[in-house]
Chains A and B, each alone.
Chain A
């Protein structure tokens, strides 16, 4: 393992880190408006390190959902990381504890940077990109959380209740490029709205994940 490869991974992720900074500040501010303390918001970015699941969890919590549905929805959103971790695993030649730590740095952006042309995974690039992104994610969350607490943003004021769905539109958009993605999104939204009047708050989100089973049908 040489230092230059770590650095190349960190540099390759920089253009993506700009977007992560914006999402981190947004997460910090929205998490505080949803009722988390600034310290809890920062702790979540450090321990979960997966923006979309964090937004889903605090969004459900802020809407009055149960802790259990917030956790289940976040876990379902992160299930894809089990697949990414499995794909990276053969390239990691290190003691088990080290492999498990490196796997924690696997997120959408670092995963993209770690793949080299020709389909090989570079663990050094994964670690370099992962550490750079981790610093950006946690640092920007702290900025957003403490600024949000300072200005006491009320979730009902200034359209902040529209900031959450807008953010999920941003996260959803790349998935709408494929036909299956569009079908899954439409079915998920319809199912969630149908269930809203009859099941506890938050459960419609977790239930929408069942739509992904359409991936099992023969092409």
Chain B
């Protein structure tokens, strides 16, 4: 089996189990109150870590390259409340344009 299909199967199974856990285990009881803020704070560091590593990491090395311009454009567009597709296309286009200007392949 390829790595891709393995990830598809395992992530699917894990997600199904997570979503079923509430009704299956807790019945009608609420989750412990102290854990609620932890659950709500899981997404921001994970998304921020993905932004940071996918911009600055090349394998194990930290680098600054054309992706930084893409990130700057994405941040500006996102905070101007541009639709998701505009943010993504502008970021990719900025990175490609900078590489073209710098003389590499886009």
Binding site for B on A (CB under 8 A): 19, 22-23, 26, 35-37, 40, 43-44, 47-50, 52-59, 61, 63-64, 67, 70-71, 73-90, 92, 96, 99-100, 102-104, 106, 156-173, 175-176, 180-182, 184-193, 196-198, 201, 204-205, 207-209, 211-216
Contact = CB atoms under 8 A, between A and B. Distances in A.
Contact of A82 (B21, B46, B57): B21
Contacts of B31: 82-83, 86-87
Given A165-B55, A169-B51, A169-B75, A180 B41 contact: yes
Contact of B88 (A80, A167, A172): A167
B23 interface: yes
Interface of A is mostly: helix
Interface in B17-38: 18-24, 26-31, 34-38
A187 B47 CA distance: 11
Interface of B: 2-16, 18-24, 26-31, 34-57, 59-62, 66-67, 70-71, 73-75, 78-79, 83-85, 87-97, 99, 105-106
B24 A96 contact: yes
Given A86-B22, A103-B20, A162-B70, A189 B7 contact: no
B53 A74 contact: no
A162 to B, nearest CB: 3
A87 B46 contact: no
B50 A205 contact: yes
Nearest to A55: B50
A169 B62 contact: no
Nearest to B91: A166
Q: Which 8 A-B pairs have the closest CB atoms?
A: A188-B45, A85-B22, A162-B70, A47-B12, A215-B37, A159-B95, A166-B91, A86-B22
A40 B4 contact: yes
Contact of A89 (B3, B22, B87): B22
Contact of B50 (A37, A59, A67, A79): A59
A212 B53 contact: no
Contacts of A189: 45, 48-49, 51-52
Contacts of B19: 78, 81-82, 85, 103-104, 106
Contact of A40 (B5, B90, B96): B5
B10 A71 contact: yes
Contact of B38 (A26, A44, A104, A216): A216
A61 B22 contact: no
Given A82-B19, A216-B37, A59 B84 contact: no
A108 to B, nearest CB: 10
B68 to A, nearest CB: 9
Given A44-B8, A44-B11, A168 B45 contact: no
A33 to B, nearest CB: 11
Nearest to B85: A22
Contacts of B96: 157-159, 162
